[in-house]
A and B are shown apart, each in its own frame.
Chain A
Amino acid sequence: MMGWLRHHRQALAAALHRLRLQAATTLLTALAMGVAISLPSGLYLGLSNLARVAGNLPAQPEISLFLDAGASAEQKQALAARLKQPDIAQARFVPRDEALAALSAAQDLTDITAGLTENPLPDAWIVQPRDASRTALARVSDSLGKLPGVAETHLDSQWAERLQAALAIGRTGVWLLGALFAIALIAIAGNAIRAQVLSRRDEILVSRLIGATDRHIRRPFLYLGALQGLFGGLAAGGVLAVAGAILRPPVERLAGLYGSSFHLLPPSGAEIAVVLGLTMLFGWLGAWLTVTRSLHQVEATR
């Protein structure tokens, strides 16, 4: 156990020493990795910010139910009872006065609404069905539209669906790009480690001859790969921080033009930890593949 711990400590120290010795190479490799990682993680960040914009809008499809101006009190009660049934997730009544007030406040149409002699808006219900699938929505919308006292139903799910579909494509893209760049990362790390392995061929050979296990020989290189991956992840963080600082003012100006107080959010601590963890993992993997290959080549001289 103590021997095992010591081996790991020695391997880590050796790896750090190697990286320091070749600071310039380490830095360049970290930069190459950083750029590679920053593409998928930057896209991910952009998407999650976009999703946040979308999240402020009702992403859940809704049915707007407009009442007949002359609907009787019984009809209204019957409708309210119908909307308490289990196929409806949520229903909110919007009285016509409130709708008018909201309209004039939200769209800054006070000038126009003030000129109205009477409220042209009907009473309305905003209904969220439990089943949000396309067919279920249409069915519920249809059945509600046939109730007495209902003038019109309006299914305003289309734009939300389109936005969600677009975001879903974006997320798939992130995964795809992420997978591609993970391969790139393994290749970059593997290549960096290969140079190290070549420069220490004698040591590997001699160690094997005097009883070192593959695991023992591999260990410092694995630490090297993981550390290189970590530095790559940190470099990606730097790239993204710079990109974020450059993008922030124009994005906030654009948001301001739309009357929104939206601003770009940096990644969360957990997201940073996941990215660093993944880059370390892929650095480690690249090192493992390279060293294992060279180990078998060294011994293949038999």
Chain B
Amino acid sequence: MISFSQVTKRYPGGHEALSGVSLAIEQGELVFLTGHSGAGKSTLLKLIAAIERPTSGVVSVSGQNISRLSRRAVPYLRRNIGLVFQDHKLLFDRSVIDNVVLPLDIAGFDRRESLKRARAVIDKVGLLNREKANPISLSGGEQQRLCIARALVSRPALLLADEPTGNLDAGYAADIMAMFRDFHQVGTTLVIATHDERAINALGGRTLHLDHGRVEAVPT
């Protein structure tokens, strides 16, 4: 589903976030990206979602070459990818449910059907009693779960999560990881950047360790 071939990403200013990374992730796989901060985990996720383009090498997602993807085609790629951001990227000018319904609105779904789906997913992340609230009034953990709900509402085949349990206490983190396990069990491909060792041990799955922009072999 995802393959990197000799991918290097150099940011303007010369910082090389990834150096000659090659890897492959199969459909339905659960993969953890680990490594200290600045090792290139976020960059790797951004390359998959075409938020960044590789400086050299080939990134391919669902058979599409990301470097060659036109600006016009990017939105359609992203509609199949659920993105969970470390900083949530919620919109504070609308309610919880309106945040979740946004991807469906963008994809042009029927409004009533969208609301139904949004409610189902909000229920799943345990925010149903807050659906009318403004996200600014939610706690950090609740905001994170809202972000996950928004990523899942369009039932993407691929979920990318950047530190989904960062800054969360252990209870919330376990909840969120349990949710990810559920989605993995229904066939969603998950790529999760984290350094939450407990979560990795609890969920199993493959671990890719990044060190200074290179993938290190991890004994399983």
Chain A residues in the interface with B (C-beta under 8 A): 2-4, 6-7, 10, 202-203, 205-214, 216, 299, 302
Looking across the interface, which residue of chain B has its beta carbon closest to that of A3?
Answer: B108
Tell me, yes or no, whether B120 is within 8 Å of chain A by CB: no
Chain B 59-87 residues near chain A, CB threshold 8 A:
71-72, 75-79, 83, 85
Tell me, yes or no, whether B198 is within 8 Å of chain A by CB: no
Q: Assuming A3-B109, A211-B106, what are 9 further A-B pairs, CB within 8 angstroms?
A: A6-B108, A203-B91, A205-B89, A206-B102, A208-B75, A209-B51, A211-B77, A216-B75, A302-B51
Looking across the interface, which residue of chain B has its beta carbon closest to that of A213?
Answer: B75
Contacts A203-B93, A206-B91 given: A212-B106 contact, CB under 8 Å?
yes
8 A-B pairs with the lowest CB-CB distances in the bound complex, closest first: A3-B108, A211-B79, A211-B78, A212-B106, A213-B75, A210-B103, A211-B75, A206-B89
What B residues does A7 contact at CB under 8 A? 108
Tell me, yes or no, whether B53 is within 8 Å of chain A by CB: yes
In-complex Cβ contact of A210 among B53, B102, B109, B111 (8 A): B102
Complex Cα distance A54/B150, Å? 69
Chain B 132-161 residues near chain A, CB threshold 8 A:
150, 154
Tell me, yes or no, whether B110 is within 8 Å of chain A by CB: yes
A3, A206, A302 interface centre (most CB from chain B within 10 Å)? A206
What B residues does A6 contact at CB under 8 A? 108, 110-111
B91 touches A211 (CB 8 A): no
Tell me, yes or no, whether B107 is within 8 Å of chain A by CB: yes
A299 touches B71 (CB 8 A): yes
What A residues does B83 contact at CB under 8 A? 209-210
Contact size range, B: 20 to 34
Tell me, yes or no, whether B16 is within 8 Å of chain A by CB: no
In-complex Cβ contact of B103 among A4, A10, A211 (8 A): A211
Contacts A208-B75, A209-B83, A210-B78 given: A10-B93 contact, CB under 8 Å?
no
What A residues does B123 contact at CB under 8 A? none
Complex Cα distance A44/B13, Å? 56
Interface of A is mostly: helix
Contacts A205-B89, A211-B76 given: A10-B105 contact, CB under 8 Å?
yes
What B residues does A212 contact at CB under 8 A? 75, 106
Tell me, yes or no, whether B52 is within 8 Å of chain A by CB: yes
What A residues does B77 contact at CB under 8 A? 211
Contact with A along B38-54 (1 / 0, CB 8 A): 00000000000101110
A209 touches B105 (CB 8 A): no
What B residues does A3 contact at CB under 8 A? 108-110
A4 touches B108 (CB 8 A): yes
Looking across the interface, which residue of chain B has its beta carbon closest to that of A200?
Answer: B93
Q: How far is the CB of B44 from chain A (nearest CB, A)?
A: 14
Complex Cα distance A40/B108, Å? 42
A207 touches B102 (CB 8 A): yes
Chain B 107-135 residues near chain A, CB threshold 8 A:
107-111
Complex Cα distance A208/B83, Å? 12
Complex Cα distance A45/B72, Å? 45
In-complex Cβ contact of B53 among A203, A206, A302 (8 A): A302
Q: How far is the CB of B157 from chain A (nearest CB, A)?
A: 13
Looking across the interface, which residue of chain B has its beta carbon closest to that of A199?
Answer: B93
A216 touches B106 (CB 8 A): yes
What B residues does A205 contact at CB under 8 A? 89
Q: How far is the CB of B169 from chain A (nearest CB, A)?
A: 26
27 contacts between A and B (CB under 8 A): A3-B109, A3-B110, A6-B110, A202-B91, A203-B91, A203-B93, A206-B90, A207-B102, A207-B106, A209-B51, A209-B78, A209-B85, A209-B89, A210-B83, A210-B106, A210-B150, A211-B77, A211-B78, A211-B79, A211-B107, A212-B75, A212-B106, A213-B72, A213-B75, A214-B71, A216-B75, A302-B51
Q: How far is the CB of B32 from chain A (nearest CB, A)?
A: 22
Q: How far is the CB of B65 from chain A (nearest CB, A)?
A: 16
What A residues does B90 contact at CB under 8 A? 206
Looking across the interface, which residue of chain B has its beta carbon closest to that of A206?
Answer: B89
Complex Cα distance A250/B118, Å? 67
Complex Cα distance A299/B51, Å? 8
Contact with A along B157-197 (1 / 0, CB 8 A): 00000000000000000000000000000000000000000
